[in-house]
Amino acid sequence: MIGDIRIPLYLIVILVILSPAYGTAQEPSAKLKRTLNEELKRLSAVHGIVIKGLEKTRTIPARSTQGSLRQQLQKLLADFNYVMIQAPDKGIERVLILHPKEATPDVPEQIVLATERKGNHHVVRATVMGSRSMAIDVSLLVDTGASLVVLPASILPELGFNADDLEDQEVQTANGPVKAKVGQLHAIEIGTEVVYNVDTAFIDDSLLGRNGLLGMNVLGRYLMTIDDQQNLITLIK
């Protein structure tokens, strides 16, 4: 007969005390942190704002945030270029997530543009250069709903373009899709900034009004902030 194996009482007490602690230590690891995508969707639902470009944030963990809605969005989107559009009541109406930021200098270059108001919209002055560097000064309405820069078809000859040489294409504007002739400007100058080889849509003057449109193929290159009170737009490279 095998003799009794006696376990000292103090060992039994230690095992009993340690066992629950070991069990509870596993519980927090089961809780997954929110992704940036999930947190932005939550803020969109709670505050009733539209956030576009969420597909770019699916696998990124969300930062812990506090403060106003604006402060939370600024912290959550610190690694992205985005456009934040203010509502008439000074709240936030829409956020457009553009793309992740690339490495930037310690002091980013800023282009500050004075604007004229057209209702709730901002209009900036620009110089557009066509073939053979023929240049025209134009007024462009800042339009985050336009995929391309849009200009009136009547200025095609002044820019050195022949309409028959341009591509027929349907382009997106804030008012919906329109038929256009699409070509490439040699450059567009806005303030101190010059952007080269800019795809541009030319549409019938009656559809455009007096101003062209400054679309996302230019605006999307920058982090843009809009100051409605001072009538200023800042483009940050």
The type of residue at 164 is D
Domain-wise residue ranges, the chain: 36-100, 110-236
The type of residue at 121 is H
pLDDT computed for residue 11 by the predictor: 44
pLDDT computed for residue 4 by the predictor: 56
pLDDT digits (tens, 9 = 90+) for 187-198: 999 999 999 999
Catalogue the E-assigned strands of the chain: 50-52, 80-86, 92-100, 110-114, 116-118, 121-129, 135-142, 149-152, 167-173, 176-190, 193-203, 212-214, 223-227, 232-236
Instruction: Provide the whole-model pTM.
Output: 0.55
Determine the 3-state secondary structure of 103 from DSSP. Answer: coil
CATH superfamily of 110-236: Acid Proteases (2.40.70.10)
pLDDT computed for residue 176 by the predictor: 78
- The label of the residue with tokens 């992205």 reads 80
Mean pLDDT (10-residue bins), the chain, 237 residues: 52 44 43 81 94 90 90 93 86 91 72 91 95 88 92 93 91 80 95 94 87 94 92 92
**92-100 and 80-86 strand pairing:** antiparallel
In Å, what is the CA distance from 174 to each residue of 62, 118, 131, 145, 178? 31, 15, 28, 4, 10
DSSP-assigned letters across all residues of 17-45? HHHHHHHHHTTGGGSPPPBHHHHHHHHHH
